[in-house]
């Protein structure tokens, strides 16, 4: 109980320094949060595009509907496949007319072949897997041709990989900056109480006892800073939505909670490092 009281007393005794620490932590986590929000929306956008990855197997004229149904059920059982749509010639024509309105008079009945539209499960939409499934589809004797926009999928995955690596690198850089700033902030608090620490040591307090209030203080500051950063990130998103007419996704509750806990963890780690260094020096 005493370490908690001591940690809370530190807020009371140095309100300005505490407010400064919390604000600094909040702004460093806000920068991290904004970056996270951008990364989240890029990921969502790419995921949305990725969902459109499908393989279209064009069927030879004269293939019976029964044969197509049996084959589609078999293909649907492939581990990579989520759904198979059987598209008849009439349905293909309808779709073409809808998608390419300006050519609607060009298309005649039975101009377009029937097809099996194969949709893949998430995690199986990479170029290699798509090519492998396409190859298996080519093995059916009634399949004339298989199309899946190989180049488009390759580009999409290259973009996704670049976004992933850039996201990870920038995310780590932002996290490092946040840790350094939080560590420096907590160090100021430790130095402000250097005399108190020296006296504690002199009168026989163990290092663990000296450390604990600082760890609690750091975690509380991180928690409050994290909460403030979350609020600022949310407000920034709302402002963006309102003035730039963006439809943006926000962190779900679990991620938001993890973000705030990350702040607490940063505060805790910053404190542990700062107090540890100080105790080793005195």
DSSP 125: -
Q: What are phi and psi of 54, to 5 degrees?
A: -150, 160
Closest CA to 214 of 243, 194, 199: 194
Binding mask 137-176 for another protein (x = CB under 8 A): ----------------------------------------
What is the per-residue binding string for another protein in 7-36, x denoting contact by CB under 8 A?
------x-----------------------
The least CB distance from residue 229 to another protein, in Å, is: 30
Q: How far is CA 150 from CA 109, 142, 143, 161, 189, in A?
A: 29, 22, 18, 16, 58
CB 85 within 8 Å of CB 117: yes
State the minimum distance, in angstroms, from the CB of residue 208 to another protein: 8
Q: Which of residues 192-221 bind another protein (CB under 8 A)?
A: 195-196, 198-207, 209-210
Residue 100's beta-bridge partner residues? Answer: none
Q: Using the rule CB under 8 A, is 2 a contact of another protein?
A: yes
> Tokens 């005649």 identify what position?
108
Cα angle 196, 197, 202; round to 5: 95
Q: Smallest distance, Å, CB 9 to another protein?
A: 10
Nearer to another protein, 202 or 244 (CB): 202
Give me the least distance between CB of 28 and another protein, in Å please: 29
Instruction: Please report, as ranges, the residues that interact with another protein according to CB under 8 A.
Output: 2, 13, 195-196, 198-207, 209-210
């Amino acid at each position: 109980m005493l370490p908690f009281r001591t940690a809370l007393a530190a807020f009371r005794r140095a309100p300005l320094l505490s407010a400064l620490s919390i604000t600094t932590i909040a702004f460093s986590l806000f920068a991290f949060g904004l970056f996270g929000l951008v990364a989240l929306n890029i990921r969502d956008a790419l995921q949305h595009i990725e969902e459109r990855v499908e393989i279209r197997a064009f069927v030879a004229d004269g293939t019976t509907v029964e044969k197509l149904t049996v084959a589609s059920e078999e293909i649907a059982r492939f581990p990579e496949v989520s759904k198979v749509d059987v598209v008849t010639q009439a349905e293909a024509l309808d779709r073409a007319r809808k998608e390419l309105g300006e050519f609607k008079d060009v298309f005649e009945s039975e101009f377009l072949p029937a097809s099996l539209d194969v949709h893949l499960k998430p995690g199986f939409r990479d170029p290699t897997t798509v090519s492998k499934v396409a190859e298996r589809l080519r093995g059916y004797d009634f399949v004339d041709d298989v199309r899946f926009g190989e180049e488009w999928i390759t580009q999409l995955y290259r973009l996704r990989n670049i976004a992933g690596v850039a996201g990870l690198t920038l995310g780590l850089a932002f996290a490092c900056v946040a840790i350094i700033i939080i560590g420096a902030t907590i160090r100021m608090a430790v130095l402000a109480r250097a005399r108190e620490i020296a006296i504690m040591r002199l009168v026989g307090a163990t290092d663990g006892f000296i450390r604990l209030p600082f760890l609690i203080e750091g975690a509380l500051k991180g928690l409050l800073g994290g909460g403030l950063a979350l609020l600022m990130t949310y407000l920034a998103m709302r402002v963006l939505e309102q003035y730039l007419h963006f439809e943006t996704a926000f962190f779900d509750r679990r991620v938001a909670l993890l973000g705030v806990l990350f702040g607490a963890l940063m505060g805790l780690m910053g404190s542990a490092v700062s107090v540890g260094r100080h105790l080793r020096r005195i």
